[in-house]
Amino acid sequence: MKNLVDNTKEALKKGKKKRSWPRRILKFFIWCAVAGLLFAIGIFAYYAKDLPSPGKLNKRQVVESTKIYDRTGEYLLYEIHGEEKRTSIPLKDMSEIVRAATIAAEDQTFYQHYGVQFKAIARAAIYDLLGRKVSQGGSTITQQLIKNTVLTPERTFTRKVKEVILSVELEQRFSKDEILEMYLNEIPYGSNAYGIQAAAQTFFGKDAKDLKLAESALLASLPKAPTYYSPYGSHLDELKGRQEYVLDQMQKMGYITSNQAASAKEFDVLAEIKPFQESIQAPHFVMYVKEQLVNKYGEKQVEEGGMKVYTTLDWGKQQIAEETVKKGVAANTKYRATNAALTAIDPKTGQILAMVGSRDYFDKSIDGNVNVAVRDRQPGSSFKPYVYATAFKKGYTPNTVIFDVETNFGTKDQPYTPQNYSNKFSGPVKMREALARSLNIPAVKTLYLAGVDNSINTAQSMGITTLKNRGRYGLALVLGGGEVKLIDHVSAFGTFATNGIRHDKTAILKITDSRNNVLEEYKSSPGEKVLDQDICAQIDAILSDNSLRSPVFGSNSPLRFDSRPVAVKTGTTNEWRDAWTVGYTPNLVAGVWAGNNNNAPMAAGADGVYVAAPIWREFMDKALANMAIERFPEAKEIKTGKAVLDGTIQGEEKEVTVCKIGDGKYCLANDNCPSEKKKRKKKFFSAHSILYWVDKDNPRGDVPKQPQKDPLFTAWEKGVVKWAEGKEFDVQENMEECKSSDF
């Protein structure tokens, strides 16, 4: 350029001495123009031969975020993205005002030029040579699109030439609107937001089609310097100034009126910016879904593939769940319980409707990001229904009589003598009463009768995925000696609700790729029959009978429902480390765990009915409010012909000659009786444990001939003997002959 200027000056000087100077100058400029044209053609040809074709620009695979929605598709729960958060949308889904703002800010002659503005390029080059700044760059929207999609970002003469060539070619292949659409889907806006849709959702929490004028102008201000003008940065005054400049340009171009510009300037647009944090709803559920997606499709596809994931989440029930958990944890401070989790499932489909993994996902003090709903925790007595269901499968009945008496299930050297919550014993009870009142000794006996392996099989068939190392578990399993996941526990209880039909839990309804091709879609299934309907009806009847549980839980506990039948079971572990409540109707099943993530014990008395049940009850009340009232099938009355299975304390009646030695006490008559008057005939009813009357593996079969061969027979009989002393029942075999000292 300097040589050209110097040569021009020299030519002018020489021209003053000769009469033909005008012709020589003209000839000089003609040759310069021809040389420049040939040079430009040569440069174009040289660089054009190795350039990529921009013709497939609109069909190239663009990095797009994966979006996770609720079941309706109306609520965006989360965007999964790598370094670029992007959602490509058609031009028709971008408001006209945001298009106008972009043109006013970036390229005011966009609809007039052919891809480049040579004047602007020349001006920028001269200013660059002179070391001066220029308020407007030399790049058109077309050039910026090329720069951001096809070329590398370095600032060299070679890259600029390539940019010009490709921009001109792009304009020949696509319409202006197509170019503008590609640009608005590609350009970076800062904070990992690429494209106008991602920017609108990141900064304002709305779609691009819903942006207001002030918001559109602000977003159009960002591409010039996304970091400098970031709404989360320290140059907010400069950002506001840039926004007002864009509004002025829009007015000058006739896109808006002066009144509209003034109103938009007065609007406090910065107050509308969403807080700077990862925008995520139902975070534990979202991360649960994301893990499934990554396992199936891989990290790269999930972060960059632009999938749309429509989940099973019911946004209304999720909000209820979050509110009740937060409220419940606040109320549980008196029990020193800092956390809780809740899961709700549609038992008829297995679809997860709500999931809250902790009281606050972002609270690091309680490890809030840990999803307790999918962690292993001991379930306490809430495990008992699986064991009783197994016993019923084996032939025992809800009316089976079992003794709630002190019993050592271990050995003399290693005793195992579980206690009831009340530290009291009830004597002979029916299995239905034992389950409803959560009595521990009858539960352990029921597990022995049902079998540990059989009970684990039942639980796993219903949906429990843990308890795999069976050698670890003994009779304490029924009291919560194993570990289960809340989400599995809820899913498995759902099998009771559906009359024994198991539906695998699911969190996803449909997944589409970036071109709306369906990758997978939920299909309704009849489910798998894993439990007899009559057995489920028996469990339903027991767990929904408030009068049965009242002697232990009281008649007005949170477990009582008057408006509809609801089956429910609580659980509490040793040292008050876990509190549970899991319950269901035929159309909704939900469970709550409460405790501390670090496994610290809660305060004494932090029972499931006090710590977990209030949370569960409030959720059920609100979640069921607009749901149909459905009833459980009626449980059939079972008659086996065996007294102990049909509700009678079975025993042997014998007549012996006795002598009365005190109030209600007798000895077997012999010569030591001082008078014939004291001798009499008396009938005694000899009470025994159930092991005396049934083969535990075939309870409806023959009475065992040698019941004492059962390893626990003696221990169980001992408890019954102790209970029977002084009652109308006695054990004839233990009565001693009369001694002279008795009289």
Q: What is the CATH number of the domain that holds 458?
A: 3.40.710.10
pLDDT 10s digits, 704-715? 999 999 999 999
> Does a structural domain hold residue 163?
yes
Give strand pairing partners of 651. 687
Query: Are 116 and 225 members of one domain?
Result: yes
Neighbours of 504 (CB within 10 A): 11
pLDDT at 281: 93
Q: Is residue 509 part of a domain?
A: no
Give the mean model confidence (pLDDT) for residues 43-53. 52
Question: Rounded distance, CA 307 to CA 184, Å?
Answer: 20
- From 272, 305, 336, give the residue that closes a domain: 272
Amino acid, res. 125: A
Structure confidence by residue, pLDDT tens digits, 264-297? 999 999 999 987 666 789 999 999 999 999 889 8
* Residue 343 falls inside a structural domain: no
Prediction pTM value: 0.75
**668 and 605 in a common domain:** no
Angle, CA of 389, 391 and 397, to the nearest 5°: 90
Return the pLDDT at 26. Answer: 61
User: Taking CA 606 as the corner, what is the angle to CA 402 and CA 460, rounded to the nearest 5 degrees?
Assistant: 55
Residue type, 243: Q
Please indicate, yes or no, whether residues 107 and 228 belong to a single structural domain of this protein. yes
Q: pLDDT tens digit string along 438-458?
A: 999 999 999 999 999 999 999
**pLDDT score of 236:** 87
Same domain, 19 and 147: no
Active site residues: 106, 381
pLDDT category of residue 368 using cuts at 50, 70 and 90: confident
Q: How confident is the model at residue 738 (pLDDT cuts 50, 70, 90)?
A: confident
**To the nearest whole number, what is the mean pLDDT of the chain?**
86
Asked whether residue 547 falls in the same domain as residue 427, the answer is yes
Closest Cα partner for 444 from 421, 419, 467, 469? 419
Do the domain assignments include residue 353? no
pLDDT at 136: 45
Q: What is the mean pLDDT of residues 75-80?
A: 90
> Is there a domain that residue 95 lies in?
yes
Domain limits at 42? 2-48
Q: Are residues 111 and 29 in the same domain?
A: no
Answer yes or no: do 566 and 460 share one domain.
Answer: yes
359-364 contact pairs (CB < 8 A, 24+): 359/325, 359/326, 359/329, 360/326, 361/280, 361/283, 361/284, 362/277, 362/283
Measured on CA atoms in the order 51, 54, 55, 58, is the torsion positive or negative? positive
**Within a domain: 347:** no
- The structure tokens listed for 743 are 């009289």
* pLDDT above 80 (res 726): no
Residue 220 belongs to some domain of the structure: yes
The beta strands (E) that lie in 228-338 are given as 308-311
pLDDT at 28 over 60: no
pLDDT of amino acid 6: 40
Is the pLDDT confidence value at 662 over 90?
no
11 and 122 share one domain: no
pLDDT reported for residue 713: 95
Is 181 among the domain residues?
A: yes
Residues 611 and 581: their CA atoms lie apart, in Å, by 9
Judge whether residue 350 has pLDDT over 80: yes
Q: Is the predicted pLDDT of residue 152 greater than 70, yes or no?
A: no
Confidence of residue 514 (pLDDT cuts 50, 70, 90): confident
Reply yes or no on whether the pLDDT at 135 is more than 50: no
How far is residue 246's CA from residue 239's CA, in Å, rounded to a whole number?
Answer: 11
Q: What are the tens digits of pLDDT across the range 191-242?
A: 888 999 999 999 999 999 999 999 999 999 999 988 889 898 778 889 999 9
Residues 116 and 188 both lie in one domain: yes
Q: What is the mean pLDDT of residues 567-589?
A: 97
* Shared-domain flag, residues 662 and 570: no
Number of domains composing the chain:
4
Same domain (yes/no): 487, 593: yes
Q: Does 145 lie in the same domain as 238?
A: yes
Confidence of residue 614 (pLDDT cuts 50, 70, 90): very high
